[in-house]
């Protein structure tokens, strides 16, 4: 019998108000139903937000270091259950177990970092312009945070948002992706076991078109943190009003390989960046911009290595590339093969899918791609690498920037001048030198520019700015009225 899961609303596990459900399936064996999950409605969202407002009043009064002890315990629980959680994650979203272990580890790192930050929620103290007057600032929690997360990092990305939100004293209403609901169940239970008060965390399952808009428009929501497509991010901005919004959206990330680069190192990094997580990362290497002197040798080596990659069920030890997450993603990636041919690109390896059991698509390399082609401009979100040749380093940097996105970038070079020119001129939030476009670390800021984000950052210290408000405090101990800007001149 198929297991039935529930929302966590108002301190208890419960079905959706109308009893509707949706299926969660294994992308490697699509006939296998993992579970049934609530398809929530407006009434469910209303109850969750109302409860979170009550939970906020309690949680915001807990001293930050005491919150930190709870977050540390969550990290301890995740550490103890790392292997088990990783397998569950692979089961529902497909990427290989080595990668889902990394997903869990990122959540662990984020938990411990957030726990330590609760003792370091620093602000500034500044001198007053008047005598016998003290001026300082302090951080305060914002309120109820709507957390909307994707399926490709079903534990890491929620942890980037939920741990800092809780560390700062906010309550959370979380809507996870419909493709990875079981991981959300696991994470919510970990938070509750660690000691997060029940009304502080609300878990509401459902389809984006059904409850996503209801959640972001809800008058009881004080801030929104979203990771997903640029199109949805724009819709959130249009309908959410004046509250704080953090958007982490699409990417069309490029690796530049120069004549001075170590090609063996570049090959390893490009393969990992392009085909890790089956290319289903916002930071995935989607474009390879390679100098004409090394183009043929590099592409030949990449094709040779890509053909050796083992495609299959992510739970099997020998698998190196898992399935795409669902049928829609499979059809999208497949459609770009036709687009590539029509635009004049060559499929030099891969280009085919196999969907008899799951949504498998071969690691694919497209050569003779021009910067204006759709495969060089649009986010495919699959195991597809587009190769563009260049002659001059300045030209390469212009090609990197010739996209609406600006998340991650990489340059392989042994020329220090090229490295620093790239760091200065590439229009992305992240730049790697002699490393792939993927591999962000939990204690450093993560995010992009242009169509990728709206100025906020996940991870590191800046995320605590987003999840808190700065309050300015003046203490006048002069014993008389002092008028700033008047009595001091």
Among candidate residues 14, 168, 239, 282, the one labeled active-site is 282
Domain assignments of the chain as residue spans, ordered by start: 7-249+453-472, 253-433
**What's the pLDDT at 1?**
85
Q: Are 269 and 435 in contact (CB under 8 A)?
A: yes
pLDDT digits (tens, 9 = 90+) for 263-280: 999 999 999 999 999 999
Q: What phi, psi does 172 have (nearest 5°)? A: -130, 135
Pick the closest to residue 204 from 144, 282, 264, 258 (CA basis). Answer: 144
pLDDT of residue 488: 81
Give the model confidence (pLDDT) of 415-432 as tens digits.
999 999 999 999 999 999
Q: Which long-range contacts (CB under 8 A, 24 or more apart) does 316-322 make?
A: 319/96, 320/96, 320/275, 321/96, 321/275, 321/278, 321/363, 321/383, 322/27, 322/28, 322/90, 322/94, 322/95, 322/96, 322/277, 322/278
* Fold match, 7-249+453-472 / 253-433: no
* pLDDT level of residue 210 (50, 70, 90 thresholds): confident
Helix axes 64-80, 97-117, angle to 10 degrees: 160
Backbone φ/ψ region at 93: left (φ over 0), alpha (ψ -120 to 50), beta: alpha
Q: Is the pLDDT of residue 451 over 90?
A: yes
The answer on pLDDT for 375 being more than 90 is: yes
Residues 6+ away with beta carbon under 8 Å from 442:
106, 109, 110, 113, 160, 459, 460
Count Cβ atoms below 10 Å from residue 38 Cβ, excluding itself. Answer: 26
Integer CA distances (angstroms), 153 to 101, 116, 183, 360, 405, in order: 11, 23, 10, 19, 20
| Cα–Cα dist 180/64, whole Å | 31
Using CA atoms, how far residue 72 sits from 152, 153, 154, 164, 488, in Å, is: 25, 21, 20, 12, 48
pLDDT at 462 over 90: yes
CA 79 – CA 91 distance, rounded (Å): 19
Q: Is the dihedral of CA 106, 108, 111, 112 positive or negative?
A: negative
How many Cα atoms within 13 Å fall on the side-chain side of residue 374? 12
CATH number of 7-249+453-472: 3.40.605.10
Instruction: Specify whether the CB–CB gap between 305 and 265 falls below 8 A.
Output: no
Which tens digits make up the pLDDT trace of 45-76? 999 999 999 999 999 999 999 999 999 999 99
Q: Element (H or E) spanning 331, and its range? A: helix 327-343
Closest by CA position to 151, among listed 46, 36, 278, 259: 278
- Catalytic: 282? yes
Helix axes 156-167, 64-80, angle to 10 degrees: 160
| pLDDT at res. 241 | 85
Helices (H), 168-212: 181-194
pLDDT at 489: 84
Sign of CA dihedral 30, 35, 41, 46: negative
Span of 22-26, 181-185, 240-244 with lowest mean pLDDT: 240-244
Say which residues have a Cβ less than 8 Å from residue 446's Cβ, sequence separation at least 6.
160, 248, 429, 430, 440, 457, 458, 459, 460
Average pLDDT over residues 298-309: 98
- CATH class name, domain 253-433: alpha beta
Instruction: Give me the pLDDT at residue 381, please.
Output: 97
């Amino acid at each position: 019998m198929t297991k039935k899961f529930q929302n966590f609303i108002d301190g208890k596990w419960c079905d959706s108000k109308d009893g509707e459900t949706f299926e969660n399936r294994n992308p490697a064996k699509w006939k296998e139903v993992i579970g049934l999950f609530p398809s929530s409605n407006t009434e469910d969202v209303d109850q969750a937000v109302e409860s979170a407002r009550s939970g906020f009043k309690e949680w915001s009064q807990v001293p930050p270091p005491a919150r930190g002890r709870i977050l540390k315990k969550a990290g301890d629980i995740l550490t103890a259950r790392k292997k088990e959680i990783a397998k569950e994650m692979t089961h529902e979203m497909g990427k290989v177990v080595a990668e889902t272990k990394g997903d869990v580890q990122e959540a662990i790192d984020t938990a411990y970092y957030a726990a330590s930050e609760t003792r370091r929620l620093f602000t500034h103290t500044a001198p007053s312009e008047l005598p016998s007057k003290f001026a300082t600032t302090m951080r305060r929690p914002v309120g109820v945070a709507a957390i909307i997360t994707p399926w490709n990092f079903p534990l890491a990305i929620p942890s980037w948002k939920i741990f800092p939100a809780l560390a700062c004293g906010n309550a959370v209403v979380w809507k996870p992706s419909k493709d990875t609901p079981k991981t959300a169940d696991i994470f919510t239970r970990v938070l509750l076991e660690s000691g997060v008060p029940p009304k502080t965390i609300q878990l509401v399952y459902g389809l984006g078109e059904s409850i996503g808009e209801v959640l972001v428009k809800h008058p009881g929501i004080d801030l929104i943190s979203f990771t997903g497509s640029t199109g949805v991010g724009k819709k959130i901005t249009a309908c959410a009003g004046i509250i704080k919004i953090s958007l982490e959206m699409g990417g069309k990330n490029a690796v530049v390989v120069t004549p001075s680069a170590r090609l063996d190192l570049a090959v390893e990094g490009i393969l990992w960046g392009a085909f890790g997580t089956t290319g289903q990362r916002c930071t995935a290497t989607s474009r390879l911009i390679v100098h004409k002197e090394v183009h043929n040798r590099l592409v030949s080596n990449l094709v040779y290595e890509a053909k050796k990659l083992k495609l299959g069920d992510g739970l099997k030890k020998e698998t190196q590339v898992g399935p795409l997450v669902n049928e829609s993603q499979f059809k999208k990636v497949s459609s770009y093969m036709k687009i590539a041919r029509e635009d004049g690109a060559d499929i030099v390896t891969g280009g085919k899918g196999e969907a008899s059991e799951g949504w498998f698509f071969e690691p694919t390399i497209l050569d003779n791609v021009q910067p204006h082609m759709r495969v060089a401009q649009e986010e495919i979100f699959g195991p597809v690498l587009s190769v563009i040749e260049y002659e001059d380093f300045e030209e390469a940097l212009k090609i990197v920037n010739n996209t609406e996105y600006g998340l991650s970038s990489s340059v392989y070079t042994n020329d220090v001048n090229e490295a620093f020119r790239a760091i200065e001129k590439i229009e992305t939030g992240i730049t790697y030198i002699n490393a792939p476009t993927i591999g962000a670390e939990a204690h450093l800021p993560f995010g992009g520019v242009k169509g990728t984000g709206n100025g906020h950052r996940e991870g590191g210290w800046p995320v605590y700015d987003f999840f808190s408000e700065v309050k300015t405090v003046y203490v006048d101990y002069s014993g008389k009225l002092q008028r700033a800007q008047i009595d001091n001149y």
